[in-house]
């Protein structure tokens, strides 16, 4: 399967991340935890992240996978 990770970084430190396998945001700092709690309670925001997995990741993975198979 495909795993989509959307990381948010400030001053080179990741503070919150969406992971499609978990299906929610995880915070790594106090600020990140607060953002994760807010975003996880918003079905619209979670839906946008899941849509990225479907529309961008899976679409492009199919293209790259086909290109790789064509060369073998």
- Contact yes or no for 15/9 (Cβ under 8 A): yes
Identify the sign of the CA torsion 11, 49, 22, 60.
Answer: negative
Neighbours of 8 (CB within 10 A): 18
Say which residue, 69 or 8, is predicted with more confidence: 8
Q: What angle (nearest 5°) sits at the alpha carbon of residue 52, between those of residues 58 and 13?
A: 115
Mean pLDDT of the chain: 89
The architecture in CATH of the region 5-70 reads Roll (3.10)
| pLDDT band at residue 62 under the 50/70/90 scheme | confident
Inform me whether the pLDDT recorded for 72 exceeds 60.
Answer: no
């Amino acid at each position: 399967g495909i795993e989509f990770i959307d990381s948010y970084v400030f001053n080179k430190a990741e503070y919150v991340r969406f992971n499609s396998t978990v299906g929610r945001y995880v915070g790594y700092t106090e600020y990140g935890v607060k953002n994760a709690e807010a975003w996880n309670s918003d079905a619209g925001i979670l839906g946008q992240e899941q849509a990225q997995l479907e529309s961008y990741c899976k679409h492009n993975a199919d293209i790259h996978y086909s290109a790789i198979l064509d060369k073998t």
